[in-house]
Amino acid sequence: MARKLAVIGAGLMGSGIAQVAAQAGWEVTLRDLTEDALTRARHGIESSLGKFAAKGTLTDDEAAAASGRITTTTDLDAAAEADVVVEAVFERVDAKRELLSTLDGLIKDSAVLASNTSAIPITLLAAATGNPERVVGTHFFSPVPMMGLCELVRGHRTSDEALAVAREFAESTGKTCIVVERDVAGFVTSRLISALVVEAIKLHESGVATAEDIDTACRLGFGHAMGPLATTDLTGVDILMHAMENIYTESRDAKFAPPELMRRMVDAGDVGRKSGKGFYPY
């Protein structure tokens, strides 16, 4: 019998996680707050599956079967039958804690409860539940169908069993896992990208080098696929600043404090590609 996954939050990440799991044979329930959000997610998934089919990575039948394995709903109770539940709602501590607490009360005793947070300590989220040993971080990357990494995060009380189930789930979707053994804010990946982006913005704001030259240095000097400032525009200046603030608040380490230029860009609404302007015009 197909294993069951529930994904809570049908935004960019939730719909991507639902898609790769459905492609891997999981029966997926995708939950969001409104039918509009679910319709947008369904369109995004169909369009992504269509592109894979056009490229020949999937047959039309496989794409249709994957799509058919996803059920969308606004009913949180639909998560009750799942073996693995992944939350991918807004990156807000209170919203995630409230959701995990509710889920903990309605899912199966044996189910694993995973969070796709990119920076919030798993231990802080798990503490909102009565079963912190089954809470684990599964940090996927955007766009989920394209990116090969899943960063698994062990909270202070996460059990070996929950970590193993999370690994098995992520690997079943074709991802390679790294394990964050000690639960620090930002984990490995968000800490690394935050430190690089902070320094890139400081070099830019103090006139040491242009945004283009800083990005060129990272692409041609280090072999990065994209420079840090172009990456920031793609992710969203506001999204990265918020992640940095979480890491800075938690770690009290000044190297994660968002630089002044970043704050002013967010105040002005120049938050990257989605607003038409960030470190570059779009």
Ligand X SMILES: NC(=O)c1ccc[n+]([C@@H]2O[C@H](COP(=O)([O-])OP(=O)(O)OC[C@H]3O[C@@H](n4cnc5c(N)ncnc54)[C@H](O)[C@@H]3O)[C@@H](O)[C@H]2O)c1
Q: Name the site residues for ligand X (rule: CB under 6 A).
A: 8-14, 31-33, 37, 88-91, 95, 99, 116-118, 139, 141-142, 235
Q: What span, in angstroms and rounded, lies between the C-alpha atoms of 71 and 89? A: 18
CB of 70 or CB of 88, closer to ligand X: 88
**Smallest separation, CB 191 to ligand X (Å):** 14
**Smallest separation, CB 162 to ligand X (Å):** 19
CB of 64 or CB of 92, closer to ligand X: 92
CB of 8 or CB of 24, closer to ligand X: 8
Give the other-Cβ count within 10 Å of 252's Cβ: 9
Contacts of 275 (CB under 8 A, 6+ apart): 269
DSSP assignment of 157-220:
T--HHHHHHHHHHHHHTTPEEEEE-S--TTTTHHHHHHHHHHHHHHHHHTTSS-HHHHHHIIII
Give the other-Cβ count within 10 Å of 71's Cβ: 15
Contacts of 219 (CB under 8 A, 6+ apart): 225, 226, 227
**Smallest separation, CB 140 to ligand X (Å):** 6
**Smallest separation, CB 216 to ligand X (Å):** 23
**Smallest separation, CB 213 to ligand X (Å):** 25
Provide the token pair at 207: 């006139």
**Smallest separation, CB 120 to ligand X (Å):** 7
CB of 91 or CB of 245, closer to ligand X: 91
CB of 173 or CB of 203, closer to ligand X: 173
Signed CA dihedral, 9, 10, 13, 16: sign only: positive
Report which residue's Cβ sits closest to ligand X: 11
CB of 12 or CB of 127, closer to ligand X: 12
Torsion-angle region of residue 223: left (phi > 0), alpha (psi -120 to 50) or beta? left
Task: Provide the CA 41 distance to its chain's centre, in angstroms.
Answer: 15
Closest CA to 121 of 254, 252, 250: 250
